Structure 1
Amino acid sequence: MFSSSDLLATNAPIESGSIDDLRTPEGDLHILFTIPSGDTLALPAIGVREVVAVSPDRITPVPNTSNLLLGILNLRGQVIWVADTGKFLGDDTPLNTDRSELSIIAIEDDESMVGLAVHQVRGMEWLNNDTIKPATHVSDQMAPFVRGEWVFDGEQQDIVKLLDPLAILRSARWGL
């Protein structure tokens, strides 16, 4: 049987700052990414199925569909629609698909899943929903999908807009 003192007994020195690394994060886990205009956006990780980097030639264009759609992708045996996230949100700057890999964030709810092609995935962050503010400077096309924003002050002000994955999934913009 181990006691708590057995678990604490060690010959290894305690590193400075190691206790801070063990503290419980505040807030919820979010995936941060950018769209071609440079806006930084976040999605709650709970609604994200996975994030993949795929070659653009794995996305099959589908004729006579919305210009928001890049095409379809076979993601682990399931065929999903892939959208240019910036265009979907009303951004005029198209996603550069002339590169070796595209970052796709697959979001899902029940049986529905779509892929959101983004400019760059910045990583995952714990963000506190209690500090979210109403979004400012949001286009009319983006507004239905934005829950609010975080404003971080630093060398330059960083604004991260929180998207609503259910609103994206249930949007009539898919036109399918």
Structure 2
Amino acid sequence: MITQPDFLGGGGQDHSGSELQVKSPEAELCLRFYIPLHQEFALLATDIREVIELSPDRITPIPNTSGLLLGALNLRGRVIWVVDLGQFLGQGTTLNTNRSEIPVIAIEEQDTIVGLAVEEIGGMDWLDKKHLTVLKSVSDTMAPFLQGEWILENKKNQCLRLLDHKAILRSARLLGKN
């Protein structure tokens, strides 16, 4: 807590002995992003190790692996798998890798790191998990990896779905078993 009057401002008021209480927002910081067909998703910022944009040639294809896997990537000396998130969630459209850069969101739990290749990064936003609604019209392939959805007021029939990073990391689909 800050107790120095110089940092408190207030036009020379005497703040001796007072403490500034900083309230945290009710919402949680989330990264918003898109997969092909412009479906919007979010991940809690605390669930993300880092976000990188890299040239497709930095992802090394691995033969005889799942079609969900784009390949492997060296992230500061550590090899991580890179998955086409849209394909992983059951979307029929594959990620366009014929471009200069691909956004990859690295998620981590304990010693497991996976890169989620997405179409586009939308930005950071404060989102309140209290306003998550029950999932509507979600495929059986996608449902296990979602915590809920927010209905977007400014976009008709649009929603923003919150991913469960632990469910993704623990999925047998990453290993090509489903």
Task: Report how many residues are paired.
Answer: 165
CA distance in 2, matches of 1:5, 1:46: 29
Deviation (angstroms), 1:6: 7.5
Deviation (angstroms), 1:37: 1.8
Which of the residues 4, 7, 10 maps onto 1:8? 10
2:11 is aligned with what amino acid? A
CA distance in 2, matches of 1:165, 1:99: 26
1:73 is aligned with what amino acid? L
CA distance in 1, matches of 2:7, 2:73: 53
1:43 is aligned with what amino acid? L
Alignment correspondent of 1:81: 81
Deviation (angstroms), 1:45: 1.0
Give CA-to-partner distance per residue, 1:4-55, whole Å, 9 cap, x none: 6973238xxxxxxxxxxx9853311111100002110011111100000000
Q: Spell out the pairing of 1:124-143 with structure 2 (5 A cutoff).
A: 124-143=124-143
- What is the root-mean-square deviation of aligned Cα atoms in Å? 2.1
Q: Spell out the pairing of 1:150-165 with structure 2 (5 A cutoff).
A: 150-154=150-154, 156-165=156-165
Q: Spell out the pairing of 1:1-176 with structure 2 (5 A cutoff).
A: 3=5, 7-9=9-11, 24-154=24-154, 156-175=156-175
1:104 is aligned with what amino acid? V
Percent of aligned pairs sharing the same letter? 49
CA distance in 1, matches of 2:8, 2:148: 48
CA distance in 1, matches of 2:166, 2:122: 22
Q: What secondary structure is seen at the aligned counterpart in 2 of 1:40?
A: strand
Deviation (angstroms), 1:152: 1.8
2:54 is aligned with what amino acid? V
Q: What secondary structure is seen at the aligned counterpart in 2 of 1:153?
A: coil
CA distance in 2, matches of 1:60, 1:169: 20
Consecutive unaligned residues in structure 2, runs of 5 or more? 13-21
CA distance in 2, matches of 1:91, 1:158: 17
Consecutive unaligned residues in structure 1, runs of 5 or more? 11-21
Q: What secondary structure is seen at the aligned counterpart in 2 of 1:113?
A: strand
CA distance in 2, matches of 1:5, 1:63: 58
Q: What secondary structure is seen at the aligned counterpart in 2 of 1:144?
A: helix
Indicate the larger mover: 155-164 or 78-87.
155-164
Give CA-to-partner distance per residue, 1:122-166, whole Å, 9 cap, x none: 011111011100111111110110111001212534310111000
2:96 is aligned with what amino acid? N
User: Structure 1-normalised TM-score?
Assistant: 0.87
CA distance in 2, matches of 1:3, 1:45: 33
